Structure 1
Amino acid sequence: MAPETPVARLRSVVVDCPDPAGLARFYAAVAGGTPEREDDPGWVVLRLPDGPRLAFQRAPELTAPQWPRSDRDAQQFHLDFDGGSTWEEMDASHEKVLALGARVLDAADREKKDFVVYADPAGHPFCLCRIDH
C-alpha cells in the first residue's frame, strides 16, 4: 500500500510564554539554532538545525502546567531531546540544561525509563532522553 500524500507539512511548534526572546535563547542553547525576531515583538522563531521551527509567542498570563498533575492545567505537550547515548553524556546534558535555567521535575528510575523530565524557564516540561544511536 502506497503512503497517502500528506495534507500539510509541519512548519512550527509554537510555545506560549511570558518572555519569547528569553525562552528562544534557552532552547537555542539546548538544541542549536539562532533566535530570529519577527516584526511582532511578541513572537520569536528558532530555526532548529535538523527539525521544524520552534516559535515562541508572548502569553503574559500563562500558567505553567503542574507536573505530573493531569487533573488541572494538563501539560498539553512536551518536547523530547536526545541527551546522549551513554549515562555520561546524559549527565553532561543534565548539568548544561540546569545551568541554562531548567529544573528537574522527575528523575526517578531514569536508568529504567531512559529519560529525565525537566521544566524550562517558563515551566513547560521537556525531556532529555538516552537514545542508543
Structure 2
Amino acid sequence: MACRITELVLDCADPERLAAFWSEVLGYVELNREDDGSIEIGPPGAYADSESGSGSPLPTLFLSRSSDPRAGKLPLHIDVNATDRDQDAELERLLALGARPADVGQTGKESWRVLADPEGNEFCLLRRRVEPVQPVSR
C-alpha cells in the first residue's frame, strides 16, 4: 500500500482572493467552503466519487484562513508547468492574474521563473510544457 497527496494546505489571510487566483492559475473550481472562510479548490469533478474520496489524481488546494500566514520562501512550494502555451506566454498570463516576480537569489540563467502569489507565497513556473489532466467524468 501507498499514500498519495490529496490536499495541499496554504495558510492565508484572504482565502477568497487566493482561491480566485489559484483557480485561474490551475483551472480549478471551488469544491468546499468552511464556516471560518477557508476554501478548498480542485479539479472539476474532483469529488465525483464521493464514497472513495477524491476522484482526481490531482491534489486539491485548501486555503486555510489564518491570522498569521507565513509569506515568502516556504519550506514547501508549488511548481507549475504550462499545458497549452510556452513559458513566456504563461508568465504573461500569471502576471496579469496578480502574480509578481520574486527574487530568491536566482542568477537569471535558470530554466524556471520564481513568482509570488497575491499574498507573497513563492512558486515556480517551470519551462517544460505538460499535458493537461482530463477532467473526471461522473
User: Quick one: distance in 2 between partners of 1:38 and 1:12?
Assistant: 14
- The structure-2 alpha-carbon separation of the partners of 1:40 and 1:118, relative to structure 1 and needing over 3 Å to count, comes to same
Structure 1 position 9, deviation (Å): 3.2
Q: How much does 1:132 deviate?
A: 5.5
Does residue 98 in structure 1 map to residue 95 in structure 2? yes
Aligned residue identity for 1:59: S
2:116 is the counterpart of 1:119: yes
CA contact (8 A) 1:84 1:90 kept: no
Q: Which protein is richer in helix relative to its size? A: 1
Which TM-score applies when normalising by structure 1? 0.75
Tell me how far apart the structure 2 counterparts of residues 77 and 60 of structure 1 sit (CA, whole Å): 20
Map 1:1-133 → 2, pairs under 5 A: 5-6=1-2, 8-48=3-43, 51-65=58-72, 67=73, 75-83=74-82, 89-106=86-103, 108-109=107-108, 112-131=109-128
Provide the TM-score with structure 2 as the length reference: 0.73
Contact 2:13 2:68 in 1 (8 A): yes
What is the count of residue pairs matched by the alignment? 116
Larger strand proportion of the pair: 1
Name the amino acid aligned to 1:56: L
* Percentage of identical aligned residues: 34
Unpaired segments ≥5 residues, structure 1: 68-74
1:40 Cα shift? 2.0
More RCO (CA 8 Å, sep 6+): 2
Give the C-alpha shift of residue 60 in structure 1.
Answer: 2.4
CA contact (8 A) 1:105 1:118 kept: yes
Considering only aligned residues, what root-mean-square deviation do their CA atoms show, in Å?
Answer: 2.3
CA distance in 2, matches of 1:92, 1:51: 24
Deviating runs (4+, > 3 A) in structure 1?
Answer: none
Deviation at 1:31, TM superposition (A): 0.6
